[in-house]
Amino acid sequence: MQNSAHMSEVVPKRRALLVGIKYEKDIIGDNAVNERYGPSPTLKGPHKDVDDMSKLLTDLYGYEEEQIVVMKDDGVSPNLQPTRTNMIRELSALVHDARPGDRFFFHYAGHTMQQLNESGSEEDGMDECLMPCDDSPTASKIITDNDLHRYLVSPLPVGSHLVAVFDSCHSATLLDLEHIRCNRVYVPWISKGRRKSDTIYDYIVRRNAMVVKRAIYQADRVSHHEVRSRKTSLERMYNTPRSTKHLSILEKSEITSDRADWIGSADTINIPRCDSPAPMFSCTGFCSRPTGSDPNVAEVISLSACEDGQFCWEDDDGSSMTKVLIEILNQDPHPKLNHLMTFISHRLHKAAVRMHFMAREHTRLVRKWEVKHNKSLYRRRTIETHMRNDFQDPQLGSRSPLDMNSLWKV
């Protein structure tokens, strides 16, 4: 009885870890992250973002200062510089000894990159990675999405709660959470809704129950006497090497079978039979809505500034998604999730339209200067053209489908 009474008196923990990295050259050195991002990798807003987020947590959500750890590459506290070693230590400490009822908050403002995924665990074939301040091309110190899931998500017991905010590029699946499409909201400029819809950057990879051995060429008749082959992909193929790309028929002697589901007969060509390709990943955008929290997993939510294939931008004064989020939460600390995502999407879209307008005007002035001075600023024009063509769509990830009418809680 005494042990039970003692357990009932345990107060749930609340902890927050805020990381802001500007990648200033005098802190990280000329040969660090700036080599990955070109001559101007320095960001203006991350330090202010984490300071403002810390103030929001204390003023609005009742966090104590000792419950919040702030990491900035300002050179003030070596132990809290956002190097890879220090970040992993603090990530582990954030959820250390987590119990049901505990609440955790993680905020990251800085650079994010993508690298090729070789295990087949990513739908777009890429791993998303945080860029600590000591990362460099010659000595990679990145923290992958797999690392983040292992340090932040896996240790959480059922009944605990984690909210992660990523104000960075390529950030939608930084926690490798199972659901994202089904949490999308409708916005007027692109109807995302509850369906499987992604940007042109997102390569949708489907898998069935076979193993790719070789490409197959499928005949496509373009006239009575001519055929043109189209290269298709199957997950199990015949083993015979093929020397030509133009085929009018597949000889049955060239196809071998070692599975019962390869159906053929004496008068027909052996044809591989399988079900229609099914998504390798569970969230198709039509996941059933929950009636409450999933009793089998901890409640984890990630709010990201953009999709995996997109970039995010900051204004001339360093303002980005973090500023928008803080302004919205100051007006309503506990908005419905669908309202929160709608407000953020509209504000970021409005900012992007303004940025694109300014980029077009800048390009017009650059071209006028080029004509006058008979010189070409090709690189600057390329950057501005890229900025004009890119928008960012904030994403909400979770371990189980979210009730979008539920309230935002930190």
Q: Where are the domains of the chain?
A: 2-199+283-358+391-398, 209-274
Task: Give residue 38's pLDDT.
Answer: 53
End-to-end CA distance of the chain: 33
Q: How do residues 46-98 score in pLDDT, each as one tens digit?
A: 999 999 999 999 999 999 999 999 999 988 888 999 999 999 999 999 999 99
Listed range (100-109, 297-306, 386-395) with the worst mean pLDDT: 386-395
Cα separation, 107 vs 49, in Å, equals 9
Q: Which amino acid is at 336?
A: K
Cα separation, 159 vs 151, in Å, equals 17
321-331 vs 337-373: helix axis angle to the nearest 10?
Answer: 140
Q: How do residues 131-190 score in pLDDT, each as one tens digit?
A: 999 888 777 899 999 999 999 999 999 999 999 999 999 999 999 999 999 999 988 876
CATH placement of domain 2-199+283-358+391-398: 3.40.50.12660
Q: How do residues 350-405 score in pLDDT, each as one tens digit?
A: 888 887 777 778 778 878 888 888 877 655 544 444 444 467 899 999 999 999 99
Task: Give residue 117's pLDDT.
Answer: 86
Is residue 325 over pLDDT 70? yes
Task: Give residue 50's pLDDT.
Answer: 97
The mean pLDDT of the chain is 76
* Count of alpha carbons within 13 angstroms of residue 213, beta-carbon side: 12
Task: Give residue 230's pLDDT.
Answer: 46
Is residue 37 over pLDDT 70? no
Please choose, from the candidates 29, 129, 8, 113, the residue with its C-alpha nearest in 3D space to the C-alpha of residue 75: 29
* Element housing 190 (H / E): none
The Cα diameter of the chain in Å comes to 90
The first and second tokens of residue 57, run together, are: 């947590």
* Residue 123: pLDDT band with limits 50, 70, 90: confident
- The answer, as to whether pTM is greater than 0.85, is no
